[in-house]
Amino acid sequence: MPELSLEEARRRVDWLRKEIRRHNYYYYVLDSPIISDAEYDALMRELEELEAQFPELADPTSPTQHVGAPPLEEFRSVRHTLPMLSLTNAFSEEEVREFDARAKRFLGLEPAAELEYVVEPKYDGLAVELIYVDGVLQVGSTRGDGEVGEDVTLNLKTIKAIPLVLRRPEGRAIPKSLAARGEVYMNIADFRRLNEERLAQGEPPFANPRNAAAGSLRQLDSKITARRPLRIFFYDVGETVGIEFRTQEELLRTLPEFGLRVNPLFRKCAGIEEAIAFHHELERERESLPYESDGVVIKVNDFQLRRRLGEISRAPRWALAYKFAPRQATTRIREIVLQVGRTGAITPVALLEPVELAGATISRATLHNQEEIAKKDIRVGDLVLIERAGDVIPEVVKPIPEARTGEERKWEMPDRCPVCGSALVKPEDEVVFRCPNISCPARIKESIRHFARALDIEGLGERLVDQLVEKGLVKEVADIFRLEKEELAALERMGEKSASNLLEAISRSKRPSLSRFIYALGIRHVGEHLAEILAKHYGSVADLISAREDELQGIFEVGPEVARSIVEFFSTEKNREAVRRLLEAGVRPVSEKLEPARPQPLAGKRFVFTGTLRAFTREEAEGLVRQLGGEASSSVSRKTDYVVVGEAPGSKLAKARELGVKVLSEEEFKALLREVGGGEG
Ligand code: IVH
């Protein structure tokens, strides 16, 4: 087949763009992709290559344009089409009922009448407005002061869930102009991963997902934004031309048809009591939501009623934020003690006067490190604000200095480990003090607890580990596999039955997946996610042990600090010994390495075909290459390994020669296939 002409390329590019947009819609809006990631990537790559080869086909709305642009000096200001209002907060059912009664009074309705509401989660991110004119994204801005925001168009364009052009729904026209409003946010898991990476690269972590989302969106360099896992939910519109919504429900059902992602988790409620009930329902599910939500937003469904209700002091009379029970409380610090982690890291912990917080009684909270205590000026005896976010351990947010009596004491970091008495150490560039003694009982206990948690050994809880270490039955992790029934049964709160149950659980844990095993080793900076990545890359513990630093750094998501930490871990004789002993005790990690289903002798090789082949069509030849693990693309670049030339080749042959890419005749291509066992020819 000859080289693509400009016209052919244009048709192919149009098709690819349409196809990719269609898949974006399935993936981001409907949340149910219909092709694999690899197939999607292949479409994207082909489009990128064609756009590079035919610069005249460039289009700012192409799906390839979610990549970021050169950095800005500053953000321009943008005036919103209509003010972006704020919401009145309510904290109790009573306040919510008052809001409902007020709205009815205002509308001249009977108290017994029911107003229809739509209730949505309240997202904890950053509100934005995106203006689409004739379906094309023109400008995107932050809320700012409600009247004027910052122009963050380039940053918003890097978010893949934000369409650069609207989808045209069947039987409906694209509106002349649509100002779509929503919340840019980050999922909790993505936030944790981002922080894990930042710590590994020596950068300060973000305090919470909202700060992470806001900080990422307000980057002058959109290439940085492009690497952040930002998402969006749309929930409102500003000025619209050529489309009208009658209700919030209609709005939420229509926006997705234009390719604008809406959270399906909303409810239409026949009255305020139903709205309150939905609030309670969501509050119970709060911990299982993938994103942070601090309440619900209750909105009058009917837009005509909304217009009549209007607004008062920058907040609509038709909407209310009904917050969940706070996860913050105040209490007093009785004492500050040190906790020794398995890596020896010392964490100061506040012992508190017990206080009720989001359904739990809290008597300890972390103070992170001594620098944090000094910076916040936290003293023993202080009244403090504490917070519990998600499943994370409660932390002391800040002291309340106004409540001081003069009895409070400044706290100083001890210079010895509270458990083994070793002198604590702190590297210049770190904030954390460490106990350097690997045989410190506190460290041993923590490693065993970590190991038991990682391998999910039921019954090997905190108290039991304390006893096992204190009685000298367990001196290192591998010892748990040598425990005997009699010695266990003799321990406090144990008996024959629980001893044999525990032994069974221990025995079951001898076949962990490789990733759980790697995680269980407790290598600094290697959390569950990184352990999975390492396990997929290395088929066995032995391979990981002998991995070199540069090789580790070559793995996507493994930064220099992580690589160093892994190498350091395995170059410590005592750690290698510990792993050896685990294997000797019969622990057999199960490999999860991604083995290709069939041999892939052409893996990593890129082929381009030009001209007409005699033995097969272009599609057949490309299919063969892919079956053998290679890639086939339509344009020649420096990354191309082979250009296969048939009859009447096009300009690709010249390009290949120019770039020094290896050229194969059809015969040579067939010989190559025979050589690698690809049949045919
Ligand atoms: S509707 C005034 N819906 O809340 C009504 N806002 O205080 C327009 N927010 O900055 C907003 N989740 O970022 C609406 N489901 C939701 C929301 C939501 C979070 C934020 C929004 C805005 C603030 C208003």
What's the 21 CA to ligand 1 centre distance in angstroms? 28
Q: Which of 153, 499, 95, 116 is closest to 321 using CA atoms?
A: 95
For residues 228 and 184, what is the distance between their CA atoms, to the nearest angstrom? Answer: 12
Q: What is the gyration radius of the CA atoms in the chain, in angstroms? A: 31
* CATH homologous superfamily, domain 89-323: DNA ligase/mRNA capping enzyme (3.30.470.30)
For residues 296 and 315, what is the distance between their CA atoms, to the nearest angstrom? Answer: 16
Q: Which of 475, 102, 240, 78 is closest to 465 using CA atoms?
A: 475
The ranges assigned to domains in the chain are 6-65, 89-323, 327-434, 441-508, 514-584, 606-676
Closest ligand 1 atom to 183 CA: 13
Whose C-alpha lies nearest to ligand 1, atom 24? 86
> Could you count the other beta carbons within 10 Å of the beta carbon of residue 674?
12
For residues 232 and 29, what is the distance between their CA atoms, to the nearest angstrom? Answer: 10
Tell me what pLDDT residue 634 has: 85
For residues 342 and 435, what is the distance between their CA atoms, to the nearest angstrom? Answer: 10
CATH topology for the 514-584 domain: DNA polymerase; domain 1 (1.10.150)
Tokens 């002993």, located at residue: 581
The rounded Cα 486 to chain-centroid distance in angstroms is 47
Q: Domain 441-508, CATH 1.10.357.10 — does that match? A: no
> Could you count the other beta carbons within 10 Å of the beta carbon of residue 196?
20
Contacts of 375 (CB under 8 A, 6+ apart): none
**Fold match, 441-508 / 514-584:** yes
Spans of the chain below 70 pLDDT: 1-2, 358-359, 389-392, 594-598, 678-681
Tokens 């009664």, located at residue: 101
Eight-class DSSP state of 353: E
For residues 156 and 163, what is the distance between their CA atoms, to the nearest angstrom? Answer: 10
> Could you count the other beta carbons within 10 Å of the beta carbon of residue 205?
15
**pTM: predicted TM-score of the whole model, two decimal places:** 0.60
Asked if residues 514 and 590 have their Cβ atoms less than 8 Å apart, the reply is yes
CA distances from 321 to 92, 193, 279 (A): 11, 30, 10
| Burial of residue 137 (number of CB atoms within 10 Å: 0-12, 13-18, 19+) | buried
Closest ligand 1 atom to 120 CA: 15
To test the ligand 1 pocket, which listed residue (122, 296, 312) has its Cβ within 8 A of the most ligand atoms?
A: 122
Beta bridge partners of 55: none
Tell me what pLDDT residue 392 has: 64
Joined tokens for residue 43: 């479409």
CA distances from 16 to 48, 158, 160, 276 (A): 10, 19, 16, 47
Asked if residues 434 and 347 have their Cβ atoms less than 8 Å apart, the reply is no
Q: Which of 364, 369, 355, 368 is closest to 327 using CA atoms?
A: 355
Closest ligand 1 atom to 316 CA: 2
- CATH number of this structure's domain 606-676: 3.40.50.10190
For residues 51 and 4, what is the distance between their CA atoms, to the nearest angstrom? Answer: 13
Asked if residues 184 and 126 have their Cβ atoms less than 8 Å apart, the reply is yes
What's the 621 CA to ligand 1 centre distance in angstroms? 54
The rounded Cα 451 to chain-centroid distance in angstroms is 25
For residues 383 and 333, what is the distance between their CA atoms, to the nearest angstrom? Answer: 7
To test the ligand 1 pocket, which listed residue (183, 317, 322, 324) has its Cβ within 8 A of the most ligand atoms?
A: 183
The rounded Cα 565 to chain-centroid distance in angstroms is 23
Please enumerate, as own/partner, the contacts of 488-491 that have beta carbons within 8 Å and a separation of 24 or more.
491/464, 491/467
> Could you count the other beta carbons within 10 Å of the beta carbon of residue 615?
13
The 3-state secondary structure of 588-644, one letter per residue: CCECCCCCCCCCCCCCCCEEEEECECCCCCHHHHHHHHHHCCCEEECCCCCCCCEEE
What's the 595 CA to ligand 1 centre distance in angstroms? 47
Joined tokens for residue 609: 């075909």
Eight-class DSSP state of 257: G
To test the ligand 1 pocket, which listed residue (81, 84, 86, 87) has its Cβ within 8 A of the most ligand atoms?
A: 87
For residues 433 and 210, what is the distance between their CA atoms, to the nearest angstrom? Answer: 29
Summarize pLDDT for 598-640 with one digit per residue, the tens: 678 888 899 999 998 888 888 888 888 887 888 888 889 888 9
Whose C-alpha lies nearest to ligand 1, atom 13? 127
The 3-state secondary structure of 125-149, one letter per residue: CEEEEEEEECCEEEEEEECCCCCEE
For residues 447 and 443, what is the distance between their CA atoms, to the nearest angstrom? Answer: 6
For residues 639 and 659, what is the distance between their CA atoms, to the nearest angstrom? Answer: 10
* CATH homologous superfamily, domain 327-434: Nucleic acid-binding proteins (2.40.50.140)
For residues 301 and 321, what is the distance between their CA atoms, to the nearest angstrom? Answer: 15
Contacts of 483 (CB under 8 A, 6+ apart): 468, 473, 474, 502, 503, 506
CA torsion angle 257 262 264 266 (round to 10): -120
For residues 224 and 189, what is the distance between their CA atoms, to the nearest angstrom? Answer: 19
Joined tokens for residue 297: 């937003």
For residues 426 and 415, what is the distance between their CA atoms, to the nearest angstrom? Answer: 10
| Top-tier CATH class for 6-65 | mainly alpha
Tell me what pLDDT residue 314 has: 87
Ligand 1 shell residues, CB under 6 Å: 85-87, 120, 122-123, 127, 143, 183, 235-236, 297, 316, 319
Joined tokens for residue 330: 């105040």
| Burial of residue 521 (number of CB atoms within 10 Å: 0-12, 13-18, 19+) | buried
Contacts of 618 (CB under 8 A, 6+ apart): 1, 609
For residues 456 and 453, what is the distance between their CA atoms, to the nearest angstrom? Answer: 5
What's the 127 CA to ligand 1 centre distance in angstroms? 7
Across 35-188, where does the E strand assignment appear?
77-79, 89-90, 117-123, 126-133, 136-142, 148-150, 177-185
For residues 212 and 71, what is the distance between their CA atoms, to the nearest angstrom? Answer: 19
Consecutive H or E run containing 213: helix 209-217
What's the 151 CA to ligand 1 centre distance in angstroms? 19
> Could you count the other beta carbons within 10 Å of the beta carbon of residue 23?
18
Consecutive H or E run containing 322: strand 319-323
CA distances from 429 to 202, 340, 425, 426, 432 (A): 10, 20, 12, 8, 9
What's the 294 CA to ligand 1 centre distance in angstroms? 11
Torsional class of 215: left (φ above 0), alpha (ψ -120 to 50), beta (otherwise)? alpha
With H, G, I as helix, E, B as strand and everything else as coil, classify residue 327: coil
Residues designated as active site: 122
